[in-house]
Amino acid sequence: MALTEKQEALVKESWELLKQDIPRHGFRLFALILEIAPGAKDLFSFLRDTDEIPENNPKLKAHAARVFKLTCESAVQLREKGEVVVADTTLKWLGSVHLRKGVLQPHFEVVKEALLKTIGEGVGEKWSEEMKNAWGEAYDHLAAAIMGEMQVEA
């Protein structure tokens, strides 16, 4: 399934906005993940020993930024090539990291819901059903590719 030019543009346009404040959106993403699935807290090394979500934790920011950025890149690839082509080792690596950390398939749905909500809040008036679907599709393909690698390795 390819993405249209319009969908790619919507994702890129909103990523440009979000990128300007990763700490804020990253914090919000994790707050929403834990709201939806409190049990996911212990998966993350930087949340395990605390009752609060750290405001300025580099690992938290890095994970959030990578989820945003790789989903955005996935949108570009889906438009250009019709499939997610993260460099092979990266996809393998992503699969093995998440397998090792004990991430399960339902967690990907949780992160999707939290991600779409975070983006919606982040872009404010620019948010639309179309933008939501574009991010949703890009994320679904990336998540499926990561889960596929997790299964290969498991």
In this structure, how many other beta carbons lie within 10 angstroms of the beta carbon of residue 55? 9
Answer yes or no: are the C-beta atoms of 26 and 107 closer than 8 Å.
no
| CB nearer to ligand HEM: pick between 108 and 135 | 108
Are the beta carbons of 114 and 32 closer than 8 angstroms?
A: yes
What are the structure tokens assigned to 54, written together? 């750290």
Q: Does 10 bind ligand HEM (CB under 6 A)?
A: no
> Does 70 participate in binding ligand HEM (rule CB under 6 A)?
yes
Asked if 34 and 53 count as a contact pair (C-beta separation under 8 A), the reply is yes
From residue 16 to residue 55, what is the string marking binding to ligand HEM with x (rule CB under 6 A)? ------------------------x--xxxx---------
Q: What is the DSSP letter of 52?
A: S
Binding mask 72-111 for ligand HEM (x = CB under 6 A): ----------------------x--xx--x-x---xx--x
39 token code pair: 């049990």
Token duo for residue 90: 């990266």
**Closer residue to ligand HEM in complex, CB, 75/142:** 142
Residues that bind ligand HEM (CB under 6 A): 40, 43-46, 59, 62-63, 66-67, 70-71, 94, 97-98, 101, 103, 107-108, 111, 139, 142-143, 146
